[in-house]
Amino acid sequence: MAHDAHEVKKEMVAIYPKKLGKKRAEQIVVTELGPDGSVPPIKANVRSSPGIITQRGCAYAGCKGVVIGPSRDILSIVHGPIGCSFYAWLTRRNQTRPPSDSDANFITYCLSTDMTEQEIVFGGEKKLKAAIKEAYDVFHPKAIAVFSTCPVGLIGDDVHAVARQMKEELGINVFAFSCEGYRGVSQSAGHHIANNQLFKHVIGVNELVHEDKFKINLLGEYNIGGDAFVIEDLFRRCGIKLIATFSGNSDYDSMANSHTADLNLVMCHRSINYVAEMMEKKFGIPWLKINFIGAAATAKSLRKIAEYFDDTELKAKVETVIAEEMPKVEVAQQDVRYRCQGKTAMLFVGGSRAHHYQVLFNEMGMEIVAAGYEFGHRDDYEGRKVLPTIKVDADSKNIEEVEVRPDETRYMPRLSSERKAQLTDPELEFQDYVGMMPEMEDGTLVIDDISHHETERLIELYKPSIFCAGIKEKYAVQKMGIPCKQLHSYDYGGPYAGFEGAINFYREVDRMVNMKVWSLLKAPWQTFEPQPEPAPVAAD
Ligand code: CFM
């Protein structure tokens, strides 16, 4: 690496006022794996400092947009001013495929109570009730979810009481989320709030029994760019029965029935680990951390599932699928490696992809020079082993911790204690997540909640071959002559999951990093030459 990461860090924070510089210095860490597998601590999941131009979103975005939004037949009503709905309308590329044209799909709709001054002054509960009734009359959904925006919490509308009342009146499941944008420090708070309500109001209300042998749920996969379709296909070919996905390409009934699965797979740890934990406690369903981003990671994840079920037939099927897919992947890898080997990437996105996508770049022979989450917690960086040492602050106390006990009739441990004791290989990540940092090269920069200034300095100093972020950063980065790949929406591309997705990703990144246009790019101000003063116009 051409730069000493410690020097870069010093230089990046030097420009800040003292207090802010001190805080940012704790959120910027140079990775170094200790002999015991530990990494240096990072400060994460703390408030963004005003003025730094954070990449983050709000709790409402994390709850409505991220966790619940991709489910196609829960009718979502936003209780709040119209802008909160309008700017969240179809902005995430979560795809869905109803079984037939006559099945419900509300994803394209945008329902809002359109709160105005009238409700801010006199209360909005009446309007919310009317909205739920009207929505029910028009759509006849199986379930209605109500999302609170900032003013709802400020004026004190009791959305939960309204939901209870309407549930009784309409005879369908109606539940609400106190996911006001200001709760917590980022969208991460919204994930937690969504997890809690899913657990309390949806999971376990459908008792349909599936006779299949290997029943799983996929948690934290939201079907961006069609990723879930690819993963579903892999499960089908391996003979694995997917009960529910939370929540890409999902419907209400499958989530309500998810407690009948025998294993939870956790893809995005940040957004949904709470559901995995709570389902373990209440129903006895263990969970495994998996990752379907990257071909090797996909193969490893399938093998982990087979290992969990410990079934010879399943193991054989998994090996067959891997053997069918890997040769195509290797051809594509070889092709791109020739042009991409040694090129560099930076990833600043979300709470899980900045880790998962490193695998794909490494498979192409590319090097990660810096990475970070927008809103990950310390466990996403350093691994779950730091969980007991994370201090609870006022912002995290703001979010309900649901007390969970084993279900009186439905708790059923899926594994014997002897079998559980066999699943301790750290590679298996059984009920564990090792985090991003232990898997990164020593000397790499890890930056939490990166600021715009830091982004610019990093680009100026390292001139990475590609920068991965979102739409808010994309054009600012590209104006600096560096291609920016959106890892939230995938720009217009995808899927990138599984074997097929890996090939798509290699090809697209190859095209981006080897495109000559970036070196030709000059912004108008870079070519600006001062013009001579215009001659004075003669006065009459
Ligand atoms: Fe999980 Fe996500 Fe992500 Fe996330 Fe997100 Fe997303 Fe993301 Mo954008 S749930 S943490 S809140 S993997 S919307 S599908 S891409 S920031 S890295």
Residue pLDDT, tens place only, 72-108: 999 999 999 999 999 999 999 999 999 999 999 999 9
Distance, C-alpha 503 to centroid of its chain: 22
Pick from 68, 245, 271 the residue to mutate for probing ligand 1's pocket: most ligand atoms within 8 Å of its CB: 271
Cβ 270 under 6 angstroms from ligand 1: yes
For residue 140, which amino acid is it? H
Cβ 62 under 6 angstroms from ligand 1: yes
Q: Identify the helix (H) or strand (E) that includes residue 300.
A: helix 295-309
Name the nearest CA neighbour of 263 among 196, 223, 200, 218. 218
Catalytic annotation, residues: 58, 61, 92, 191
Cβ 351 under 6 angstroms from ligand 1: yes
**Pairwise CA distance, residues 490 & 70, whole Å:** 16
- With cut-offs at 50, 70 and 90, classify the pLDDT of residue 540: low
Examine the pLDDT at 59 and tell me if it is beyond 90.
Answer: yes
In this structure, are residues 72 and 104 in contact, taking their beta carbons and an 8 Å threshold?
yes
Cβ 350 under 6 angstroms from ligand 1: yes
Average pLDDT over residues 335-357: 98
Identify the residue with better confidence: 522 or 461.
461
Counting atoms of ligand 1 from 1, which one is nearest the CA of 269?
1
Name the nearest CA neighbour of 75 among 188, 159, 183, 175. 175
Instruction: Give 71-139 as a 3 state SS string.
Output: ECCEEEEEECCHHHHHCCCCCCCECCCCCCCCCCCCCCCCEECCCCHHHHHHCCHHHHHHHHHHHHHHH
Distance, C-alpha 418 to centroid of its chain: 34
Is the backbone peptide bond immediately before 41 cis, with ω within 30 degrees of 0? no
Counting atoms of ligand 1 from 1, which one is nearest the CA of 373?
17
Find residue 348's DSSP bridge partners: 372
**160-184 as b/e, with b when 16 or more CB fall inside 10 Å?**
eebbeebbeebebbbbbbbbbbebb
Write down the pLDDT at residue 1: 47
Q: What is the DSSP letter of 492?
A: T
Q: What is the DSSP letter of 465?
A: S
What is the distance in A from the centroid of ligand 1 to the CA of 350?
A: 5
Question: Which residue's CA lies nearest to atom 14 of ligand 1?
Answer: 222
Cβ 352 under 6 angstroms from ligand 1: yes
Cβ 271 under 6 angstroms from ligand 1: yes
Nearby residues of 109 by Cβ (< 8 Å), 6 or more positions away: 75
Write down the pLDDT at residue 522: 76
DSSP 148-203: E-HHHHHHT--HHHHHHHHHHHHSSEEEEE---TTSSSSHHHHHHHHHHHHHHHTT
- With cut-offs at 50, 70 and 90, classify the pLDDT of residue 532: confident
Question: Which residue's CA lies nearest to atom 9 of ligand 1?
Answer: 271
Cβ 272 under 6 angstroms from ligand 1: no
The structure's pTM equals 0.96
Write down the pLDDT at residue 539: 63
Q: What is the DSSP letter of 32?
A: -
Mean pLDDT taken over the chain: 96
Examine the pLDDT at 131 and tell me if it is beyond 50.
Answer: yes
Counting atoms of ligand 1 from 1, which one is nearest the CA of 268?
1
Write down the pLDDT at residue 467: 98
Cβ 222 under 6 angstroms from ligand 1: yes
Counting atoms of ligand 1 from 1, which one is nearest the CA of 270?
10
- With cut-offs at 50, 70 and 90, classify the pLDDT of residue 264: very high
Counting atoms of ligand 1 from 1, which one is nearest the CA of 353?
17
Nearby residues of 342 by Cβ (< 8 Å), 6 or more positions away: 365, 366, 367
Counting atoms of ligand 1 from 1, which one is nearest the CA of 65?
13
**Pairwise CA distance, residues 105 & 97, whole Å:** 8
Q: Name the percent of the chain lying above pLDDT 70.
A: 99
Q: What is the pLDDT of residues 298-331, one digit of tens each?
A: 999 999 999 999 999 999 999 999 999 999 999 9
Q: Identify the helix (H) or strand (E) that includes residue 484.
A: strand 484-486
Examine the pLDDT at 241 and tell me if it is beyond 50.
Answer: yes
Question: Which residue's CA lies nearest to atom 17 of ligand 1?
Answer: 350
Pick from 58, 222, 377, 468 the residue to mutate for probing ligand 1's pocket: most ligand atoms within 8 Å of its CB: 222
Distance, C-alpha 495 to centroid of its chain: 15
Average pLDDT over residues 16-38: 96
What is the distance in A from the centroid of ligand 1 to the CA of 221?
A: 9
**Pairwise CA distance, residues 508 & 357, whole Å:** 14
Longest CA span, the chain: 102
Pick from 54, 55, 66 the residue to mutate for probing ligand 1's pocket: most ligand atoms within 8 Å of its CB: 66
What is the distance in A from the centroid of ligand 1 to the CA of 65?
A: 10
What is the distance in A from the centroid of ligand 1 to the CA of 536?
A: 59
**Pairwise CA distance, residues 515 & 86, whole Å:** 36
**Pairwise CA distance, residues 377 & 379, whole Å:** 5
Cβ 349 under 6 angstroms from ligand 1: yes
Cβ 224 under 6 angstroms from ligand 1: yes
Average pLDDT over residues 234-241: 98
Name the nearest CA neighbour of 271 among 373, 417, 136. 373
Which long-range CB contacts under 8 A does 275-279 form with residues at least 24 apart?
275/195, 275/198, 275/199, 275/203, 275/219, 275/246, 276/219, 278/195, 278/199, 278/402, 278/404, 279/199, 279/203
**Pairwise CA distance, residues 390 & 377, whole Å:** 9
What is the distance in A from the centroid of ligand 1 to the CA of 315?
A: 31
Counting atoms of ligand 1 from 1, which one is nearest the CA of 92?
13
Cβ 248 under 6 angstroms from ligand 1: no
What is the distance in A from the centroid of ligand 1 to the CA of 496?
A: 14
Find residue 310's DSSP bridge partners: none
Write down the pLDDT at residue 530: 74
Pick from 93, 268, 449 the residue to mutate for probing ligand 1's pocket: most ligand atoms within 8 Å of its CB: 268
Question: Which residue's CA lies nearest to atom 5 of ligand 1?
Answer: 350
Cβ 268 under 6 angstroms from ligand 1: yes
Average pLDDT over residues 386-409: 94
User: Rounded to 10 degrees, what is the CA torsion of 452, 454, 460, 461?
Assistant: -170
